[in-house]
Amino acid sequence: MKRTNDGGARRIVVISTGGTIASRWQGTGYAADASGDDVLATAPLPEGVTVEVVDLFNVNSSRMTAAHQLALLRTVHETLADPGVDGIVITHGTDTLEETAFFLDLHHTDARPVVLTGAQRPFGTGDGDGPGNLYDALQVASSVSDLGVLVVFDGRVHAARGTVKTQTLAADAFSDPSADRLGRVGFSRVDIERQPERPTPLPLPAAADKADPDLPGAV
């Protein structure tokens, strides 16, 4: 699906990978089965943004494997090979979001932002935090550059390196114990307060070319 708000001056690709933000009640528990289009439909679009959705896979992040992460890394690089793309947002489960963000940042060579976000409360709940987090992530992805891979959650912008999940239930799930947040997002405004230190990125691993998350244990 493609959605546009006011002409779409900025083109953002949303890569959907599952997690609580895409989890619906199945009678005996929650499972990540909502599509990227379903998740995107819950959030308004920032002004001047066009969004395209890629449904890569749909897993609870506690079941995220190296094959999933390698396939995601490959998809990010393939997406950024298109010069018309201005940024990427990845919807992801929170249990392994910090590991995926760090892994992607190790290999991120582009000035355009890659932003990970998710939710503490499931898809479709009245008090769900997913729509707000997704809106904020789209706002950041359409506004910043040269910051590496980012985590956007509960109005806060964090660098991938150093950010960890520190809350199991609270909305402000992520923080960096060794440094302050990079910035804030809210009221349709992004304020960046510091620049992260980023070592030289690593080359794309050869295993990314053949990673298949549908094959158990495959890398």
Domain range list for the chain = 2-195
What pLDDT is attached to residue 213? Answer: 76
pLDDT in tens, 28-87: 888 888 999 999 999 999 999 999 999 999 999 889 999 999 999 999 999 999 999 999
pLDDT at 216 over 90: no
20 is catalytic: yes
Of 202 and 215, more confident: 202
**For 117, what's the count of Cα atoms within 13 Å in the CB-facing half-sphere?**
31
Mean pLDDT is lowest, of 74-83, 108-117, 140-149, 169-178, for: 169-178
Mean pLDDT to the nearest integer, 151-166: 94
Q: Max alpha carbon distance in the chain (Å)? A: 48
pLDDT at 184 over 80: yes
pLDDT at 12 over 70: yes
User: Cα dist. 135→42, 129, 162, 171 in Å?
Assistant: 9, 10, 24, 15
Of 78 and 180, more confident: 78
What pLDDT is attached to residue 59? Answer: 93
Mean pLDDT is lowest, of 74-78, 165-169, 211-215, for: 211-215
Yes or no: say if 196 and 147 are a contact pair by the CB < 8 Å rule: yes
Helix or strand holding residue 73 (H, E): helix 66-80
Yes or no: say if 116 and 146 are a contact pair by the CB < 8 Å rule: no
What pLDDT is attached to residue 126? Answer: 78
The residue annotated as part of the active site, out of 20, 79, 96, 163, is: 20
pLDDT at 217 over 50: no
Rounded to two decimals, the pTM is 0.92
pLDDT at 131 over 80: yes
What pLDDT is attached to residue 201? Answer: 94
Of 107 and 166, more confident: 107
pLDDT at 215 over 70: no
pLDDT at 185 over 60: yes
- Give 150's strand partners: 115, 159
pLDDT above 90: percentage of residues in the chain: 68
Which CATH code of 1.10.620.20, 3.40.50.1170, 3.40.50.1950, 3.30.70.1530 fits the domain covering 2-195?
A: 3.40.50.1170
